[in-house]
Structure 1
Amino acid sequence: MTGTDLAGQASEPVQQDGFTVRLDNFEGPFDLLLQLISQHQLDVTEVALHQVTDEFIAYTRTLGEHWDLNEITEFLVVAATLLDLKAARLLPAADVEDEEDLALLEARDLLFARLLQYRAYKQVAALFGELEAGALRRYPRAVSLEERFESLLPEVVIGVGPERFAEVAAAVFRPKPPPTVSLEHLHQHQVSVREHAALLRVRLAERGVATFTELVADCGHAVEIVARFLALLELYREQVVRFDQEDPLGELVVHWVGGSVEQAQADAEAQRARQDEEEYG
């Protein structure tokens, strides 16, 4: 095949492995021409699009029945975009009086963006093609377990018997209790630190040694446990108890060092009397 340049002279034959453009200011693949225009390395106004079209038509005729529909479609899309872009670039860049000319100037940038978008889609399609070709060369390993590893498999042990399954089934079919909202937070239980201190004074004097868990075993609310702890701190400040804790965050052991049981009972009664006097005047 031969093409015609701007001077009307016949150009060299185009290679059959792909469409090649031969102009006065460019010679190479059509994709390279598109890349140079998109990178502003070649002005689209300097490209003779009619000559490119003539050469492509001649190129498709040489292919005969072996022409590629994808290649022809790509050329039509790119050629139409370049034609619109060239028409917009030929407009004057000065003040625009006609609104239609202004719209063409605004469309120029959109056409260039469309050109870049076409290039991006083409590159992504090529990447997907490479990934697909690489995946077709991979095959999963389809073999059975080797005999030397068969004995290493753990035995299947089911720790749930028929009775447990029956309990699970009964729990599933058992009607759920209606949801309830607790009102305990609306009626806060009031406690007295002095009262708990008097109670612990007598209890520790009788036992001599006790753990904190044992001292709060009869508490029914969390606020009572807090009151017992604060009461122990009050007794420690009076130097009538001693704390031992072997390990960090371990069990707290309380020792009574405040005298006899009778003295502890008397101090507790005096403390209760002072509390009643303060409350009732």
Structure 2
Amino acid sequence: PTPDPDDGKFTVRLHNFEGPFDLLLQLISKHKLDVTEVALSRVTDDFMAHIRGMGPDWDLDQTTEFLVVAATLLDLKAARLLPAAEVEDEADLALLEARDLLFARLLQYRAYKQIADIFQNRLESESRLHPRTVGLEPHHAELLPDVVISIGPEGFAKLAVKAMQPKPKPQVYVDHIHAPLVSVREQAEVVVARLRELGNAAFHELVADAPDSLTVVARFLALLELYRERAVALDQDEALGPLIVRWTGPEDGGTPMVTDEFDTPAVEREKDEEGAAQ
């Protein structure tokens, strides 16, 4: 075996094989070459001479590959030369497991080598490609669309006037998010009329015709005002039971005095309180 004069790789030259060392292993693994006919000792001696000839520049990767391939070939050759017998000793079984492990490493090594070759070819092909970094050619860069003016001087004047006019301040209208107010005084009149007619009634009867929850709240506040004016009495037989409202005011006459503090907007009430405090 001698190194190749071009790339310095180790090449095996025997009477029955000539080529790269890893190719020798591939042929043996595919049963295209008998491992017993390969002089591994001669191959090893020549490889050591090849490494010594490289001097301090010897390749560690190439040496590692040789050791892996040589160890696998040696194990395969030993398995072929030794007689096969039934394995009973644990040590022999361990040797067989080691041989299988070496063969698996060989397959893994070959797969990695093929992938490395693929990456190397891709890197070489991509290194010859260069992105375009220049701009457009002058005759393309000078191409501009024609300016089409569809309005005259008067149109430009109107656009200028519109652009110079002050923009109105943005306004946020919140009227639509407020429900209409319900008058407590008006609902008090409804409650008084109903109680004068019935004499007494449960609270749920007084609010049965209320169109919404605000009306129910207004009638409840009106009921509290009437109770404060001693115009109604409240009876409840059991806790959380129905609330019975009994009319105790005059049968005739107007509606008892009900304060309008609930009907006054909050802003006006604050102004009135501030004026009273001053």
**TM-score normalised by length of structure 2:** 0.44
**TM-score normalised by length of structure 1:** 0.44
Bigger Rg over Cα: 2
